[in-house]
Amino acid sequence: MLWMILANARQRRARAIMTVAGVAVGVGTLFALLAVSAGMESALEREIEGLGAHILLLPEGCPYTLTLALMQGTDTLEYIPQDMVPEFTRAENVRLAVPVVVGRVRLGGEQVSVYGATDGLFTVKDWEGTGFSGAVVGSDVAARLKLAPGQSISLELYETVTVEIAHILPRSGGRDDTFVFVPLPTAQTLLGLSGRLSAVLVQTTDVARTAPTRFALSRMANVQAVPPSDVFDMLVTLFGSIKSTLILVTGIAIVVGVLTTMNTMMMAAYERKKDIGLIRAVGATRMDVFRMFMVESLGVSLVSGVLGVALGYAATHLLPRTSGFGLQSSPAFSLGYVALCLVVAAAVGSISGIYPAVLAARTQPIKALREL
Amino acid sequence: MRLDLSKVWKAYGEGASQFWALRDVSLTIDDAPMIAVLGPSGSGKSTLLHLLGFLDTPTRGSILLDGTSVEGLSDRELSLVRRNRIGFVFQQYHLNESLTTLQNVMVPLELARVRDRRTVAARVLDQVGLASKLGSYPSELSGGEQQRVAIARALANAPELILADEPTGNLDSTTGANILELLLGMNREKGIAVVLVTHDEAVARSCDVQIQVRDGRVL
């Protein structure tokens, strides 16, 4: 039966191609959206975990904006007084408090993010070594500006500071690849933020008792204590609402696909009235005709589905790697998404095929033949 | 195959525009005859053919297939009778333009899910003298060749009855004679009953039985 359907489709090649393209665009958009948003969520999770803190101490203000600024390496514009650090360290269950300052500076004519911290950062980030013996440079910055260990670099903003590169970090795929890490006083001088901090990363001794420690810390003045997981949940929720809107738009594209396919199949039922009448005359049952139309509609949709997945896959590679929230993220693909897209395509085929197939099956051979 | 039409009436339209295409027709087809149905245009010849081929149902009266009334048969059952026992040949050939000669003949075989459909179709096309045209499309064939393809399609499922609606009407006299010869051969050699609608007296004379239809009545 397939050869009969293919012969019919060949007869209207341009229209078949248009229909396939129409559905493929919708399915492709869905696939790209799923892959990109999954990549985005995992990048967000990775970055939050990459902070290395059980509790994040932030200046007063919106904690999400401040966390994002910290992850992106831009000035937080609100600060914690540095002289509070001993107070944090003395709090119960606090094992380590690492003061941090971040901001954008110029290096060799380009903008880079600088991340100043005390040696405790090596423990928090689980890096080799015990502390700063110069600048630690992220792999992307090193590759972009052709930097190597032992080389001296001049960082400029309020002051110009020259530091020697001690170490180039191995590629992590995360935001750390884009930072130049320097000792806290160096960064403060550079950014003109003496005595001020963007955040403090806190690690607790007993992780299970993090919550009471957080409450104790948040009672201190000029500071808010936030668990990174809360920030993650909030950002995922925020991202989820954007994603819902995008899925709605994709849904509209898919509904358009259904209507396009239905239109094609309706036209086919009408134009092929003669052929349908004929095959009914030579013994095709209504079910045979119904099946032929459904197979054609499903076939068109599944071809569109496969093409859509390929298109979506290609499209995700054209998107910039730095997407929402300024985070480094690459799309996350899974067979589940491929399956979902093919199921959606099959649903498009079934829904759009049923009515035209019923119409075609209802063709009375005698009427069709009399119209010939 | 035995077909009995008993007091069959067929009307088209309703109310004031109702038109009786067939009136009180009784007819029996048995023992593989070659029947010519003659009559002027609009006399009801084609309607009669459609009723014999289960493409349409009578308004009144009954049709018996092998002694059993077809009145209660479902659309599916009627389709199966057409598929397995009857072959149709039309004046305009009515081939699917997007299919090759071989594929056109394979359609009824495909519907009947016959194995080796390709081989069977090629054999039937060989019988009608088209073995060399298997891959040709209808547009590449002459009228006579297209009608041969249509006859091959009608023969594909080894029918007991062929219904031919003016099969030579669009052909020149020589080609028409060849087609008629082909149908006669099928009747004589294979024992297939043929009902042939024609305007042509000469064609009618070569058949065993002539039926005249006038104003919906069989004379």
What is the per-residue pLDDT for A241? 87
pLDDT digits (tens, 9 = 90+) for B30-47: 988 899 999 988 899 989
What is the per-residue pLDDT for A269? 86
Asked if B107's CB is within 8 angstroms of A279's CB, the reply is: yes
Asked if B50's CB is within 8 angstroms of A285's CB, the reply is: no
CA of A323 vs chain B CAs: smallest distance (Å): 50
pLDDT digits (tens, 9 = 90+) for B110-131: 999 999 999 999 999 998 889 9
Sequence-distant (≥ 6) Cβ neighbours of residue B34 within 8 angstroms = B183, B184, B187, B193, B194, B196, B206, B207, B208, B209
What is the per-residue pLDDT for A189? 94
Integer Cα distance of A314 and A312 in angstroms = 5
- Decide if B90 touches A, using CB distance below 8 A: yes
**C-beta of residue A40 within 8 angstroms of C-beta of residue A328:** no
pLDDT digits (tens, 9 = 90+) for B168-193: 888 888 888 888 888 899 899 889 99
Give chain B's mean pLDDT: 91
If interface means Cβ-Cβ distance under 8 Å, which residues of chain A face chain B? 1, 3-4, 7-8, 10-11, 274-275, 278-288, 365-366, 369, 372
Percent of chain B with pLDDT over 90: 61
What is the per-residue pLDDT for A323? 53
Q: Find, in chain A, the residue whose alpha carbon is nearest to that of B83.
A: A283
pLDDT at B22 over 90: yes
Question: Nearest CB to A366: which of B56, B83, B97?
Answer: B56
Asked if A288's CB is within 8 angstroms of B98's CB, the reply is: no
Helix (H, G, I), strand (E, B) or coil at A204: strand
Phi, psi of B187 (to 5 degrees): -70, -50
CA of B175 vs chain A CAs: smallest distance (Å): 23
Integer Cα distance of A77 and A243 in angstroms = 29
Report residues of chain A scoring pLDDT below 50: none
DSSP of B18-78: -EEEEEEEEEEE-SS-EEEEE--TTSSHHHHHHHHTTSS--SEEEEEETTEE-TT--HHHH
What is the per-residue pLDDT for A326? 60
Integer Cα distance of B126 and B95 in angstroms = 18
Sequence-distant (≥ 6) Cβ neighbours of residue A341 within 8 angstroms = A27, A30, A31, A34, A305, A308, A309, A312
The type of residue at A239 is F
Q: Find, in chain A, the residue whose alpha carbon is nearest to that of B110.
A: A1
What is the per-residue pLDDT for B3? 93
Rounded to the nearest 10 degrees, the angle between the axes of helix A2-11 and helix B101-111 is 140
- Decide if B159 touches A, using CB distance below 8 A: no
Integer Cα distance of A271 and B98 in angstroms = 13
B195's tokens: 């009902």
Cα–Cα distances (Å) from A5 to A34, A276, A298, B36, B136, in that order, read 33, 12, 11, 37, 18
- Decide if B97 touches A, using CB distance below 8 A: yes
Integer Cα distance of B107 and A120 in angstroms = 80
Mean pLDDT of B190-205: 89
